[in-house]
């Protein structure tokens, strides 16, 4: 008002209103708006959130970022809806149910949004979506990860198609950022509709036990449409998504544990797909440290199970791994770890479950992990102990051909450094799939006891000669002598060497060091067509 006044500006002219009082009243208004923004949906709803065992959107942000580093954006941005009573005083919420901004996590820039369930159930309006898209675009511009703390009932029903449009804008932003910056979603409350589809397009989804749910439609809608009666937990709780559907990548007992885990995960990840942002954490764990325990951990008998995670922890820096999907397809391990301070992606068959064979779930789990690592320049370290693909009608009807092909495709396509160790056996197609030399593995090794063949000696001889008897025994022994060891592969150069188990860390560190400058020519095409 003051600056646009048309009063003549000669010395004696007095402004209609005292500018200092105008400024004071604006400041008061600003303070009021800010306090309102900080209070979200009000104390009563905050208390309800706490009673559920959940933190508020702002408390979560505080825990995620290094203390005092968070800069909020759009704190005063307000919705523009006037329908269904939304123009009433009680429906005005500065910030519109979402806290957005950037700060430091482990000293590195990270962008975040945190949905506020106390404001209209964290539902997404047109303006709420604009705030989300803004942080995603800014994060891409500066090359920093985005982490979304999701707690939302989905599209804001009062805004109708405006909120649907908002979601579509968010989805597009998710896709634009995919493979450019890491995108992480933490589901921290009941999330429905678009509130689950945006996370589904990000790289990783984590959940909180007992308080977070994910479904396209909640139990009430399910009952109305299909007559099925089901609880929130059984429809979309952590148990469902971390071990059955594979939608989520892990679960944590509460908000605090989940947010601490995110800080740990972010320490493994580059800020963007620009190679210069690859993380490095100095280590005093020597690269040439022998790992004598691994030989004892792996039984000689190819049929005796063992936990491959124990082997991995012996070999990587400080025994530290961050596992992705630990409760899904336990027959394969996918985890971030470090070698000589540099992040690697570890993929390993785990004989403790289903003898470590490849099935539909293991193939899709590992394929997605391989593709994440490749997109963000993270080298792949593969440990192989695999009896083959799981046979049977269940797998065939489920499309093991299509899903197994995903892993084969992902490994073949990956042009990051690929180092592989066969600890005990690599049979059949799974030998090819698990980052073999033929898929441009950069360094491939086998331990002396490893068996590499089309199938086990007994099965092979039964197919070749049928029946049983003394001759079969002799032929089995002959087959085993030829293939149940790594010699044939070493002679053909399918492995670079047979190495002593205790030298594994030393060999891998050395290869990864050499491979840091690996370059592969780009293939000119729009994009490949991985079997989905």
Residues forming contacts to ligand HXC in the complex (CB under 6 A) are 120-121, 123, 153-157, 164, 167, 190, 192-194, 197, 218
Catalytic option among 429, 459, 480, 490? 429
Of the pair 157, 514, the CB lying nearest ligand HXC is at 157
Give yes or no: 236 in active site: no
| Beta-strand relationship, 380-386 and 418-427 | parallel
Catalytic residue at 430? yes
Which one, 155 or 386, has the nearer CB to ligand HXC?
Answer: 155
Beta strands 146-150; 98-105: pairing state:
unpaired
- For ligand HXC, the closer of residues 103 and 121 by Cβ is 121
Indicate the residue among 190 and 279 with the shorter CB distance to ligand HXC: 190
Rounded Cα–Cα distance for residues 292 and 311 (Å): 10
143 among known catalytic residues? no
Q: One of 139, 366, 414, 430 is an active-site residue; which one?
A: 430
Query: Are the CB atoms for 184 and 265 separated by under 8 Å?
Result: yes
* Residue 120 CB, nearest approach to ligand HXC (Å): 4
Report the 3 state secondary structure along 422-451. EEEEEEHHHHHHCCCHHHCCCEEEECCCCE
Distance CA 28, CA 37 (A): 14
Interatomic CA distance for residues 153 and 115, integer angstroms: 10
| 192 contacts 64 by C-beta, under 8 angstroms | no
Element (H, E) at 269: none
For ligand HXC, the closer of residues 49 and 412 by Cβ is 49
Residue 171: CB minimum distance to ligand HXC, A: 7
Cβ at position 234, least distance to ligand HXC in Å: 14
What's the min distance (Å) between Cβ of 198 and ligand HXC? 9
Residues 478, 460 contacting (CB under 8 angstroms): no
Least distance from ligand HXC to the Cβ atom of residue 382, Å: 36
Q: How far is the CB of 351 from ligand HXC (least distance, A)?
A: 40
Minimum Å gap between C-beta 153 and ligand HXC is 2
Calculate Rg over the CA atoms of the chain.
28
Specify the residue, 221 or 477, whose C-beta has the smaller distance to ligand HXC: 221
DSSP letter (8 states) at residue 389: B
Q: Which is nearer to ligand HXC, 76 or 168 (CB)?
A: 168
Task: Give me the count of residues in the chain.
Answer: 532
| Class of residue 280 by CB neighbours under 10 A (exposed 0-12, middle 13-18, buried 19+) | exposed
Residues 344, 442 contacting (CB under 8 angstroms): no
Q: Which of the residues 103, 153, 193, 441 is marked catalytic? A: 193
In the bound state with ligand HXC, the residue whose beta carbon lies nearer, of 185 and 395, is 185
Q: What φ, ψ does residue 154 adopt, rounded to 5°?
A: 90, -155
Please tell me the distance from the alpha carbon of residue 364 to that of residue 407, in angstroms, as a whole number: 7
Residue 55 beta carbon to ligand HXC: minimum distance, rounded to whole angstroms: 15
Q: Report the distance separating Cα 131 and Cα 141, nearest Å.
A: 15
Q: Where are the beta strands (DSSP E) in 82-215?
A: 98-105, 108-115, 146-150, 183-187, 190-192, 204-208, 213-215
The secondary structure element, H or E, covering residue 297 is helix 293-297
Q: Give whichever of 218 and 404 is closer to ligand HXC, judged by the CB atom.
A: 218
Q: Check 194, 237, 246, 356 and give the catalytic one.
A: 194
Rounded to the nearest whole angstrom, what is the least distance from the CB of residue 194 to ligand HXC in the complex?
A: 3
Sign of CA dihedral 352, 357, 362, 367: positive
What is the phi/psi pair of residue 203, to 5°?
A: -75, -40
71 by DSSP, 3-state: which?
strand
Is 460 a catalytic site residue?
Answer: no
Separation between Cα atoms, residue 211 and residue 220, nearest integer Å: 18
To ligand HXC, the closest distance from the beta carbon of 170 in angstroms equals 9
Q: How large is the greatest C-alpha to C-alpha distance in the chain, in angstroms?
A: 121
- Strand-pair category, 332-339 with 342-349: antiparallel
- Asked if 237 and 327 touch (Cβ cutoff 8 Å), the reply is no
Query: Could you give the residue ranges of the DSSP H alpha helices within 40-190?
Result: 43-51, 57-64, 126-142, 161-177
Q: Please check whether residue 489 is in contact with residue 452, taking contact to mean a CB–CB distance below 8 angstroms.
A: yes
* Of residues 128 and 338, the one with the C-beta less far from ligand HXC: 128
Enumerate the active-site residues. 193-194, 429-430
């Amino acid at each position: 008002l003051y600056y646009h006044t048309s009063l003549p500006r000669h010395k004696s002219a007095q402004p209609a209103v005292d500018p200092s009082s105008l400024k004071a009243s604006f400041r008061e208004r600003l303070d009021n708006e800010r306090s309102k923004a900080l209070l979200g949906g009000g104390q009563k709803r905050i208390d309800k959130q706490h009673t559920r065992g959940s933190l508020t959107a702002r408390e979560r942000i505080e825990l995620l970022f290094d203390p005092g580093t968070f800069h909020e954006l759009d704190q005063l941005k307000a919705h523009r809806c006037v329908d269904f009573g939304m123009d009433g005083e009680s429906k005005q919420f500065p910030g519109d149910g979402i806290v957005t901004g950037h700060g430091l996590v482990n000293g590195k820039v990270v962008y975040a949004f945190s949905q506020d369930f106390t404001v209209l159930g964290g539902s997404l309006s047109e303006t709420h979506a604009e705030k989300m898209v803004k942080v995603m675009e800014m994060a891409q511009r500066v090359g920093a990860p985005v982490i979304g703390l999701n707690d939302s009932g989905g599209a804001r029903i009062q805004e109708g198609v405006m909120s649907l449009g908002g979601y579509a804008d968010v989805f597009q932003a998710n896709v634009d950022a995919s493979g450019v910056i890491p995108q992480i979603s933490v589901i921290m409350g009941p999330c429905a509709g678009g509130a689950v589809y945006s996370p589904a397009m990000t790289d990783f989804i984590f959940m909180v036990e007992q308080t977070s749910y994910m479904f396209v439609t909640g139990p009430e809608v399910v009952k109305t449409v299909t007559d099925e009666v089901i609880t929130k937990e059984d429809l979309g709780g952590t148990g469902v998504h971390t071990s059955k559907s594979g939608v989520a990548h892990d679960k944590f007992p509460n908000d605090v544990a989940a947010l601490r885990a995110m800080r740990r995960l972010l320490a493994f990840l580059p800020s963007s797909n620009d190679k210069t942002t690859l993380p490095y954490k100095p280590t005093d764990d020597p690269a040439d440290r022998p790992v004598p325990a691994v030989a004892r951990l792996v039984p000689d008998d190819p049929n005796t199970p063992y936990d491959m995670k124990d082997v991995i922890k012996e070999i990587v820096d400080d025994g530290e791994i961050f596992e992705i999907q630990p409760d899904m397809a336990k027959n394969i391990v996918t985890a971030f770890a470090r070698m000589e301070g540099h992040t690697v992606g570890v993929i390993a068959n785990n004989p403790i479950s289903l003898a470590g064979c490849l099935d539909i779930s293991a193939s899709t789990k590992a394929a997605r992990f391989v593709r994440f690592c490749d997109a963000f320049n993270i080298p792949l370290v593969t440990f192989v102990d695999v009896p083959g693909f799981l046979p049977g009608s269940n797998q065939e009807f489920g499309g093991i051909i299509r899903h197994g092909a995903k892993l084969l495709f992902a490994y073949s396509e990956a042009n990051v450094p690929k180092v592989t160790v066969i600890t005990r056996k690599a049979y059949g197609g799974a030998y090819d799939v698990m980052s073999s030399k033929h898929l441009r593995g950069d360094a491939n090794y086998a331990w002396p006891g490893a068996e590499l063949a089309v199938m086990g000696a007994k099965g092979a001889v039964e197919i070749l000669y049928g029946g049983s008897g003394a001759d079969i025994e002799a032929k089995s022994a002959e087959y085993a002598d030829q293939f149940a060891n790594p010699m044939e592969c070493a002679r053909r150069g399918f492995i670079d060497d047979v190495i002593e188990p205790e030298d594994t860390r030393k060999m891998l560190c050395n290869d990864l060091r050499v491979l840091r400058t690996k370059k592969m020519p780009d293939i000119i095409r729009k994009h490949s067509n991985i079997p989905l």
